[in-house]
């Protein structure tokens, strides 16, 4: 086993072939680095650092959006998720249902703080 193979085994999930099968994530960077003339560690580290900062900022924005969604008051019901549409008729609140679906997608429940 080559040094490179040991490295990729160690860094599970970073196999270039798999990254390209999942959406050309590897070759896209190789081509971009070539096009931008990134050949030494310092240039590549600066690019990776910039990307890490952008990812951190995007994650922060996502967390803020989730908090805003959790705090938003339902315009359709009292927040219980039920809407009285007649004397004996209660329906599921569409707004609450869709909010809960979004929070579930981001693995948050409507009541958790984080």
Residues that bind Zn ion (CB under 5 A): 74, 76-77, 93, 95-96
Minimum CB distance to Zn ion smaller for 29 or for 70: 70
Task: Write down the least CB distance from residue 39 to Zn ion, Å.
Answer: 56
From first CA to last CA, the distance across the chain in angstroms is: 43
User: Residue 68: which of 16, 105, 103 has the closest Cα?
Assistant: 103
Between 60 and 94, whose beta carbon lies closer to Zn ion? 94
**Hey, what are 37's tokens?**
């003339």
Q: How far is the CB of 87 from Zn ion (least distance, A)?
A: 20
H or E stretch at 46: helix 41-71
Closest CB to Zn ion among residues 19, 103: 103
């Amino acid at each position: 086993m080559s040094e490179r193979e040991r490295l990729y085994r160690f860094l599970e999930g970073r196999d270039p072939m798999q990254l390209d099968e999942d959406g050309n994530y590897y070759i896209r960077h190789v081509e971009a680095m070539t096009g931008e003339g990134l050949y030494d560690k310092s240039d590549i580290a600066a690019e990776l650092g910039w990307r890490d900062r952008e990812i951190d900022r995007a994650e922060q924005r996502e967390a803020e959006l989730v908090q805003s969604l959790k705090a938003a008051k339902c315009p359709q019901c009292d927040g219980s998720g039920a809407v009285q549409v007649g004397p004996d008729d209660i329906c599921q609140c569409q707004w609450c249902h869709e909010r809960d679906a979004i929070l579930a997608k981001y693995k948050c429940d409507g009541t958790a703080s984080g």
